[in-house]
Structures are given as structure tokens and as C-alpha cells.
């Protein structure tokens, strides 16, 4: 009697079963999950199965010791535990079922991941159609408002929040800080969410006691979205000593927040989306025309956040929360504190991102791969667009984006999911394929979730075949058509050519040709790349050289000139005449500027100053100026130092330098003139070697002995940078201390003299170094033993310079294995 009362009160007959024959009770099967070792959920828990059994439904549960609920629990609930599910009308699971185990003419329900025509799951869809299977996809079960009715959102949010708190603890430890977050594990380490929340609450008490290092500053969590995912994450988050603030308060919080609490803010679309043509945010209009809005999230929200919890749905027509460029910028936002011994400050404010949406390439453009329960974190470095797993100390931002987060809380996730699915099971059991789809008498929620029915896609999902056909046609077209490669001509095979060749040949669409008058160098450069070749070019100023150059340029789409700067203008004229684009690393010469009109008429781009200096330094400068301007500031002084320095442990020669580009150009540039503005006064450095005497200490990297000299005419850039308010502008060349002193020694003895010497002629017999040095210092009759004394006097009795010069000469001679002859030495000079 007691049992009958319990049945009557707690287990009413399910809706949707009326009309089914009582002589043939419906049979439902729960398949075991075989897609992942971590998939321990089920569509229904034992109590929900018991309700079905007592409603007259036979439930078969396939054996599995991985499932979070045991087989005994299902057996005690009245389920039949057996592997054979052939008598079932409906077979349910969470994730997809292996194609070879699909039974024909059955109704299956699971997350199929086919509604976007996902290529990886098209074999599954083909099998469903071939076997006349009726496929119901939980993802498409929606109510009349378009809201999903069967999902795990809340538990995805909870698991994601627990995981990222654990990750923050590990990341801060890698940065040198033990924090209470170290006492939080990953979500699957807890038997249930109550235990996990208790652990988080315990950590919260430690934070209240002041156990977060003050050098970390206020920690701010930003939540996007207000749905189940975000609410689940917030439920865990609020176990901490939390103060929720409005997004507009973030600057104040970061400036003066308390490290005995954690700050949170919920960001909705109206907080960061701005209409492109002005006006207030209109939710309804934005739903229809999201492309008419632009995002200010990267500038108004992101700079203040420590952790981003992203749980928002992203429409591909909408602006992204963060782009690749935004990610780079966020790594420049200072952690906010000053390092002390044993108390390192954070390298940047942003610590971590938990992308619970796991929408690859979606609202977070740089999110291109998911993490996993096995390996929940990676460090993404937007500078090189690379990710590493397992190294918490790597440069970049911590990211967690597990696409099956609720599987870490399997029992509660099963309870929640099943409670939402159960009201529809009666209707699903009536779908046996006997009715025509049009006449199927089930609710719109169930009917509209059927992707396939008796061998055909249902009307709502016929677009899948169209998408497949377009993709396959495009793939077939790509296989049949050979897209002509973009042809790139690189002029020169010196030091700077190798990195360009390596970089361009990474893309198979580029065909690279290296043209040089040193055939052996060009051949060596291209030998390891399939899409690179080389051609000999008679470099010179004669008709033959120009004719060869015209032929080479005409065969290519883009020309990169890595020749000495004086030759760029020759190449530019040929490029303009041939309507080909040109790229150089060198300063824009007056002759090059004169070609501007002709280049525009020919539709040709002449792109100069895109190396390190000039080039990258310009970009960094403009980035700095724009940032200052954006915050209402005015730039009054600009000093920039740039130099290609070797690693300190390799700066062990007298120049403290390694030649990474043309050695002659490196040294001869030091005989140029220079001009800069200092405190409103023009400073001119004459040509002829005075630049070397203007070297001054530069303290931009503490601990390094650096010196620098002004680089050409800095004043012309005040106009180009748009900085009329400057009282100081200096662009300088940076070297390790000792470089300019050593070069002065070379210059003083005449080794930087570019005048021709009749005696230095390849047609004459080679000279010994002592003979050359005697000639350069105008001592025609000097013994080798006296040469050092003469040079010492010429150097003003400067022992430091003499030592540097002597070491340089010995280094060169040692490269020659003791052959003290000048012409081999001159050819070997570049090996220093």
C-alpha cells in the first residue's frame, strides 16, 4: 500500500504516452558513452529511469563501469542491464554513437554536432540517412522563445570557474607567488559541486585574512553573458569574498581596490557595443543588425580585467570581443605594481581567460583550439601566435576552453539534464517512423529537433546538404585548379636575405627567386626550400646588368631589394616601368621620393623603411603616440634607441657586436652626419667620423653597459609622426659599451677610409698586414717591430684603443690560419 501511494504521488504517468498500445510497452535504451574517457554522464539518472519504469516503459541500460551512476543503481531502479538494445524504439546517449553500432530504423537522440554541416561528423549523418534513422539532436530542442530547453549550461559554467581558479593559482605560482588559489583543484577532483564550493569558500576566508600578496593588486573577474553558463560560473565565484561592481567602476577598482576581496563585473552587450553611426544601444535592432555595431570591449573593459569568463553566444555577424591585435595590446598593460626583491610584479594585468563557450574562432578570434580535461590549460602568446601546454611560466595568457566541461561534474550534470529531458520522453517514444513526418503529432520542441527522419533530412535541416555540396564543390575545384603562385623576387643574398627566404617559403603559394652576383651564396640560401630558386644577376651599372634586371622583375609580382641602399633607386625605376611593387628596408632617399608620382600613375607601391630601424621602430613609436593621444596626453619629448645587439654572452669580440647585415654599411654609416632636437635646440653632428665621438651612455636596460649615437636626421620625423609640440626628438643607434671606441681606432688608422689605394689592387701581389698598416699611417719604411709603437702614437697613446685594434687584427689573421695577407683578410672581414 505504501509503495502504491509513493507511485501515485511521485511517479505519475508521463505525458505523451497516450495512444500507445499497452500490449506493446515502449522500450527505451541508454547507450554507453564511448567517445571520451572522461564522458561519465548519462541522459537520465536512476531515479528518472525509475519514474519511466513505473510509467510502464521498459528501460535498457548498456553496461558501463565508466558511467558516474553505477549499473547497480540503475538495476535497483528497475532497468535491465544488457548490451543488446535491438528491441528499443528509442536509443539515447549524450555524445555521438559509433557509426558501426547504429541500428537501422531506430530513433536516436544525442548531441550530433551536424547542424553546422561539421565535416568531421558527416559520415555519421550519412549512416543515419542510409539506415533510415530518426535523429533527434538535444542542441535543437527549443521552446517558443527560441531558448534551449535541454542543456548543461549551468554545470559548464561551474566546472569552468573551478578550473580557472585552479589555473590562476598555478599561473601565479609560476610568476613567483604562493596564493590561496593553490588550494583549489580541477572540477573533477571533487565528488560534487557542494564540495567544490566549500573548497572555494575556504580559499575565500584565506583571502579575507589578507593572504593574497599586495603586489598582485586588485584581482578583477569579468563575466560576459547572463545565461545559464554565466550564472553557473558566478555561483562558484560568489563563494569568494566578492564585491560586484559596474563595468564603469573598473578603473577606480584597479587604482584603489582592496586585495582582501575579489572584484567581479558582469558585462552585457550594451556595456561595450557602440553603434557605428552614433546613438544609444538598441537591443532589438542589435539582434537583427549586429554588424552595425562595433566593440569597445578591448579598450573600455579588457585593460582592467585579471580573468575573463566568457560564456556569451557569438553571432558571426557581430564584432568580436577580442581580436589578435587586442590580445597583443593586452600583454602590454602593466600589472600595476613595482617589483621588490622576492616580490615580483605581474608582467601584465591579464592573467587568464576561461572560454566556456568553446566557440573556435568566435568571439575570441585567437581561440583556435580547445583544451581538454586531461590538459586543461595552455599559454597563448599573441606576439608569435603560438600556444604551449604544460609550461605555466611561458610568456602569454593562460587559456582554458574545454568543450565538455560538464563531464567533470557527471552526477549532478546528469540529474540536471535528465530533469529537463524527461518531460519530452513520452513524445519521443511515440516517434517510431510509422507516421509521415508532416503528420507527426508531437510538440514543436520535439518535432523541430528531428534532423533526420526515415532516410531524409527534415525540412528545417535540408540546408545541411547544400552546405556540404558547396564545400565539396569548392574542395574539388581546389584539387582541379592549380592556383598560380605569387612570385617574389629577392635581390641580394647577404645576411638579411636568409630570414626573408625562410619566412616566405613557409607559404606554398609563394614562389621565391633569389637573384645575386654571388651564385654560391644564392644557391646555399634556397637549397633547403622546395618553392625557392636562384638566378645569377650581373650586379652593376652597365646595360647588361639593367637588361637582366628588367627581365627578372618582369617575371615576378613583388620585388624585395636587399641590396646596398644606393642601388634601390635603379631597381625602383625598373619596377615602376614594369608595374611591379617594390619593398626595401632602407630609408626613403630624395631620389626615391621623386618617383612617387610615376609610381602612383603606374599603380605601383614603393614601400620603404620596413626593417628593424627604420621600420619596427616607427610602428612602436606610432603605437605609443596613439596610446598617449587616446588618453588625452601630449607628447613633448621622444627619444628612441634601437640596435641589433648580440646576446651578452656572445659579445666577446673587441667590437662587442655581431654583423647581421652588410659590415661595410654598418661601419660606413658611422661617418654620416646627424641632427636632433634637444630641449628646443638643434644639435648637428658633422660627417666624417664625428658621430663616433658623440657616443654617450644609455641606461634603458638596467644592468647592461650600453652606449648610443644619434641616427641621421631625427628632426624630419616630428612632422611625419604628427608631433609639432616636441621640444626633444632623438632617434639613436644602440651598441654595447666599447663599440664606438673600437671603431674610432679603426677610423684613426685609416681602415674605414673609402678612398682607393693604388697598391690595393687585386691584379698586384698581395700585401702583408704590416705593409698595409704602414701604408695607411704614412710610414713607408717601418719595421714590423716598430709598427705597434707608431699605431700607439697615432691613437693618442690610448691603450684601450690599441688593445681593441690589436685583438681585431689577431682575430682576422686567426681566421686565415696565420696567412698574413691583406686581400684574403678583406674578404674574410665579414666573419667577425
Question: How far is residue 196's CA from residue 185's CA, in Å, rounded to a whole number?
Answer: 8
Element (H, E) at 273: strand 273-275
CA distances from 84 to 135, 598, 653 (A): 20, 80, 78
Residue 258: closest CA among 223, 220, 221, 222: 220
Element (H, E) at 803: helix 799-815
Residue 253: closest CA among 304, 308, 306: 304
CA distances from 183 to 29, 167, 173, 199, 343 (A): 41, 11, 12, 8, 21
Element (H, E) at 220: strand 220-224
Contacts of 411 (CB under 8 A, 6+ apart): 45, 68, 69, 192
Q: Which three cell numbers stand for residue 219?
A: 584581482
Question: How far is residue 263's CA from residue 626's CA, in Å, rounded to a whole number?
Answer: 30
Polymer length in residues for the chain: 832
Give the SS3 label for residue 400: strand
Q: Which three cell numbers stand for residue 509?
A: 603559394
Q: Could you give the angle at the alpha carbon of 369 between the alpha carbons of 395 and 411, nearest 5°?
A: 110
Characterize the bridge pairing of strands 510-516 and 486-491: parallel
Question: How far is residue 333's CA from residue 343's CA, in Å, rounded to a whole number?
Answer: 19
Give the SS3 label for residue 323: coil
Give the SS3 label for residue 608: coil
Question: How far is residue 125's CA from residue 121's CA, in Å, rounded to a whole number?
Answer: 7
Question: How far is residue 581's CA from residue 553's CA, in Å, rounded to a whole number?
Answer: 9
CA distances from 184 to 199, 309, 483, 485 (A): 6, 17, 53, 53
DSSP 615: B
Residue 475: closest CA among 125, 112, 119: 119
Q: Is the dihedral of CA 114, 117, 119, 123 positive or negative?
A: positive
Q: Which residue has the cell 548498456?
A: 62
Q: Give the number of other CB atoms < 10 A from CB of residue 559.
A: 25
Q: Which three cell numbers stand for residue 587?
A: 630609408
Q: Which three cell numbers stand for residue 599?
A: 609610381
The catalytic site residues sit at 613
Angle between helices 497-504 and 519-526 (to 10 degrees): 30
φ, ψ at 235 (rounded to 5°):
-60, -40
Residue 107: closest CA among 450, 539, 594: 450
Question: How far is residue 272's CA from residue 522's CA, in Å, rounded to a whole number?
Answer: 53
CA distances from 406 to 45, 110, 359, 592 (A): 15, 15, 16, 62
Amino acid at each position: 500500500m505504501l509503495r502504491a501511494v509513493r507511485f501515485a504521488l511521485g511517479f505519475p504517468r508521463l505525458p505523451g504516452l497516450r495512444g500507445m498500445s499497452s500490449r506493446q510497452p515502449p522500450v527505451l535504451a541508454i547507450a554507453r558513452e564511448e567517445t571520451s574517457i572522461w564522458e561519465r554522464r548519462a541522459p537520465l539518472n536512476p531515479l528518472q529511469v525509475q519514474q519511466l519504469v513505473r510509467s510502464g516503459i521498459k528501460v535498457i541500460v548498456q553496461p558501463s563501469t565508466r558511467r558516474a551512476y553505477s549499473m547497480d543503481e540503475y538495476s535497483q531502479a528497475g532497468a535491465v542491464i544488457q548490451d543488446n538494445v535491438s528491441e528499443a524504439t528509442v536509443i539515447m546517449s549524450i555524445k555521438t554513437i559509433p557509426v558501426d553500432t547504429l541500428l537501422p530504423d531506430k530513433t536516436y537522440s544525442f548531441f550530433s554536432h551536424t547542424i553546422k554541416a561539421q565535416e568531421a561528423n558527416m559520415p555519421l549523418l550519412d549512416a543515419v540517412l542510409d539506415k533510415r534513422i530518426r535523429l533527434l539532436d538535444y542542441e535543437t530542442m527549443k521552446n517558443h522563445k527560441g531558448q534551449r530547453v535541454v542543456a548543461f549550461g549551468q554545470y559548464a559554467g561551474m566546472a569552468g570557474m573551478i578550473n580557472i581558479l585552479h589555473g590562476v593559482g598555478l599561473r601565479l605560482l609560476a610568476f613567483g607567488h604562493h596564493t590561496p588559489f593553490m588550494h583549489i583543484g580541477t572540477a573533477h577532483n571533487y565528488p560534487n559541486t557542494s564540495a567544490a564550493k566549500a573548497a572555494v569558500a575556504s580559499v575565500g576566508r584565506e583571502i579575507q585574512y589578507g593572504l593574497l600578496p599586495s603586489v598582485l593588486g586588485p584581482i578583477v573577474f569579468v563575466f560576459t553573458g547572463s545565461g545559464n553558463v554565466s550564472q553557473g560560473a558566478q555561483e562558484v565565484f560568489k563563494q569568494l569574498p566578492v564585491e560586484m561592481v559596474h563595468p564603469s567602476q573598473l578603473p577606480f577598482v584597479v587604482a584603489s581596490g582592496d586585495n582582501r576581496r575579489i572584484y567581479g563585473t558582469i558585462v552585457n552587450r550594451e556595456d561595450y557595443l557602440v553603434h557605428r553611426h552614433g546613438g544609444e544601444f538598441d537591443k532589438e535592432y542589435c539582434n537583427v543588425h549586429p554588424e552595425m555595431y562595433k566593440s569597445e570591449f578591448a579598450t573600455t573593459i579588457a585593460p582592467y580585467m585579471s580573468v575573463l569568463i566568457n560564456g556569451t553566444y557569438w553571432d558571426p555577424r557581430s564584432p568580436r570581443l577580442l581580436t589578435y591585435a587586442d590580445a597583443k595590446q593586452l600583454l602590454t598593460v602593466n600589472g600595476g605594481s613595482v617589483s621588490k626583491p622576492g616580490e615580483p610584479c605581474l608582467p601584465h594585468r591579464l592573467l587568464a581567460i576561461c572560454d566556456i563557450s568553446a566557440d573556435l574562432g568566435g568571439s575570441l578570434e585567437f581561440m583556435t583550439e580547445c583544451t581538454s580535461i586531461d590538459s586543461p590549460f595552455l599559454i597563448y602568446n599573441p606576439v608569435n601566435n603560438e600556444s604551449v601546454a604544460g609550461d605555466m611560466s611561458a610568456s602569454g595568457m593562460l587559456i582554458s576552453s574545454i568543450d565538455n566541461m560538464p563531464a567533470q561534474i557527471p552526477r549532478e550534470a546528469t540529474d540536471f539534464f535528465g530533469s529537463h529531458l524527461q518531460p519530452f520522453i513520452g513524445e519521443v517514444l511515440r516517434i517510431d517512423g510509422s507516421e509521415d513526418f508532416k503528420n507527426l503529432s508531437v510538440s514543436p520542441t520535439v518535432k523541430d529537433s528531428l534532423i533526420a527522419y526515415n532516410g531524409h533530412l527534415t525540412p528545417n535541416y535540408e540546408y545541411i546538404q547544400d552546405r556540404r555540396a558547396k564545400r565539396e564543390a569548392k574542395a574539388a575545384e581546389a584539387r582541379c585548379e592549380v592556383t598560380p603562385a605569387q612570385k617574389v623576387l629577392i635581390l641580394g643574398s647577404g645576411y638579411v636575405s636568409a630570414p626573408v627566404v625562410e619566412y616566405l617559403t613557409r607559404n606554398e603559394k609563394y614562389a621565391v627567386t633569389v637573384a645575386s652576383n654571388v651564385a654560391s651564396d644564392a644557391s646555399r640560401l634556397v637549397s633547403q626550400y622546395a618553392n625557392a630558386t636562384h638566378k645569377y644577376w650581373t650586379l652593376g651599372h652597365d646595360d647588361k646588368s639593367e637588361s637582366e634586371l628588367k627581365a627578372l622583375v618582369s617575371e615576378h609580382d613583388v620585388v624585395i631589394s636587399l641590396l646596398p641602399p644606393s642601388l634601390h633607386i635603379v631597381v625602383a625605376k625598373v619596377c615602376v616601368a614594369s608595374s611591379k611593387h617594390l619593398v626595401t628596408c632602407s630609408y626613403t632617399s630624395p631620389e626615391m621620393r621623386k618617383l612617387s608620382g610615376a609610381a602612383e600613375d603606374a599603380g605601383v607601391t614603393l614601400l620603404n623603411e620596413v626593417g628593424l630601424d627604420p621600420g619596427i621602430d616607427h610602428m612602436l613609436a606610432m603605437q605609443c603616440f596613439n596610446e598617449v593621444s587616446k588618453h588625452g596626453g601630449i607628447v613633448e619629448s621622444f627619444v628612441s634607441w634601437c640596435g641589433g645587439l648580440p646576446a651578452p654572452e656572445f659579445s666577446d669580440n673587441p667590437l662587442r657586436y655581431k654583423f647581421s647585415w652588410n659590415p661595410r654599411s654598418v661601419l660606413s654609416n658611422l661617418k654620416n652626419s646627424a641632427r636632433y632636437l634637444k630641449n628646443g635646440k638643434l644639435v648637428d653632428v658633422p660627417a666624417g667620423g664625428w658621430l663616433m665621438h658623440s657616443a654617450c651612455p644609455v641606461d634603458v636596460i638596467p644592468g647592461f653597459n650600453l652606449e648610443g649615437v644619434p641616427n641621421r636626421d631625427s628632426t624630419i620625423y616630428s612632422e611625419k609622426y604628427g608631433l609639432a609640440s616636441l621640444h626633444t626628438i632623438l632617434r639613436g643607434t644602440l651598441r654595447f659599451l666599447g663599440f664606438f671606441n673600437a671603431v674610432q681606432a679603426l677610423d684613426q688608422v685609416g681602415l674605414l677610409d673609402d678612398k682607393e689605394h693604388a697598391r690595393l689592387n687585386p691584379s698586384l701581389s698581395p700585401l702583408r698586414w704590416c705593409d698595409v698598416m704602414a701604408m695607411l699611417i704614412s710610414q713607408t719604411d717601418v719595421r714590423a717591430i716598430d709598427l705597434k709603437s707608431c699605431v700607439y702614437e697615432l691613437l693618442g697613446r690610448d691603450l684601450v684603443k690599441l688593445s681593441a685594434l690589436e685583438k681585431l687584427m689577431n682575430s682576422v689573421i686567426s681566421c686565415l690560419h696565420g696567412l698574413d695577407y691583406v686581400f684574403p683578410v678583406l674578404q674574410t672581414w665579414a666573419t667577425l
